[in-house]
Amino acid sequence: METTNTTQIEGTTKPNGKVGAVVIVGGGIAGMQAALDVANSGFKVYLVEKNPSIGGNMAQLDKTFPTNDCSTCMISPKLIEVAKHPNIEILSHSEIHGITGEPGNFKVKVKKKARYVDESICTGCGTCVDNCPVQYRPYFEQSADEKIEAQRKGKEESQSTNGTGE
């Protein structure tokens, strides 16, 4: 059984009565650009991505149509800018499990999937992968059928553990 924890996202109310946080769902190229635009406007941004890393499908491409530009050359600066921006908090490997409130003033309940790695001390060196007793194929190397099966299995496990079907 996979352990998870939940995070409650709530905006901070500013003196003018406006709530100062934005949730963007999806960490692909469009989500990253939206997060940068909003964060540069002074708002706190929570970028929620269901996959273990941001970048979406573009991170897996070699060239882009119609210009044949290198997709890595285009997306890498955005990945770095998003990761280093002080107003953006990336919640990868996470899913939204509830929204309460009204437009402009709401709370979002986010379920963070277990990583089994302490993100605060991870340097990306890969030593944990070498020493892990369980071997998984990286998510991006899986076929579409394998990804669908893994998501279906995860939903079934979630339904059987909490009994609510959510």
Residue 63 pLDDT greater than 50, yes or no: yes
| 109 within domain boundaries | yes
Residue 57 has pLDDT above 90, yes or no: no
- pLDDT band (50, 70, 90) for residue 104: confident
Question: Which H, E and C letters describe 100-139, residue by residue?
Answer: EEECCEEEEEEEEECCCCCCCCCCCCCHHHHHCCCCCCCH
Per cent of the chain over pLDDT 70 is 70
Q: Is 8 helix (H, G, I), strand (E, B) or coil?
A: strand
Region 8-15: mean pLDDT is 58
The pLDDT of residue 33: 96
**Residue 76 forms part of a structural domain:** yes
Identity of the amino acid at 111: K
142 has a pLDDT exceeding 70: no
Per-residue pLDDT tens digits for 76-97: 999 999 999 999 999 998 999 9
The verdict on residue 86 lying in a domain is yes
Question: How many domains does the chain contain in total?
Answer: 1
Q: How confident is the model at residue 100 (pLDDT cuts 50, 70, 90)?
A: very high
CA distance 68 to 15: 48
Higher per-residue pLDDT: 122 or 162 = 122
**CATH number of 106's domain:** 3.50.50.60
Cα separation, 59 vs 137, in Å, equals: 17
Decide if 97 is inside a domain. yes
Residues 90/115, Cβ–Cβ less than 8 Å:
no
Identify which has the larger pLDDT, 161 or 72: 72
**Is 157 domain-assigned?**
no
pLDDT band at 141 (very low <50, low <70, confident <90, very high): low
3-state SS of 66-104? CCCEEHHHHHHHHHHHHHHCCCEEEECCEEEEEEEEECC
Asked which of 24-38, 112-126, 142-156 is least confident by mean pLDDT, the reply is 142-156
In a domain, 79, yes or no: yes
119 lies in some domain: no
Please tell me the predicted confidence (pLDDT) of residue 166: 46
| Position 41 in a domain | yes
Q: Which is more confident, 16 or 71?
A: 71
Residue-range definition of the domain harbouring residue 78: 4-114
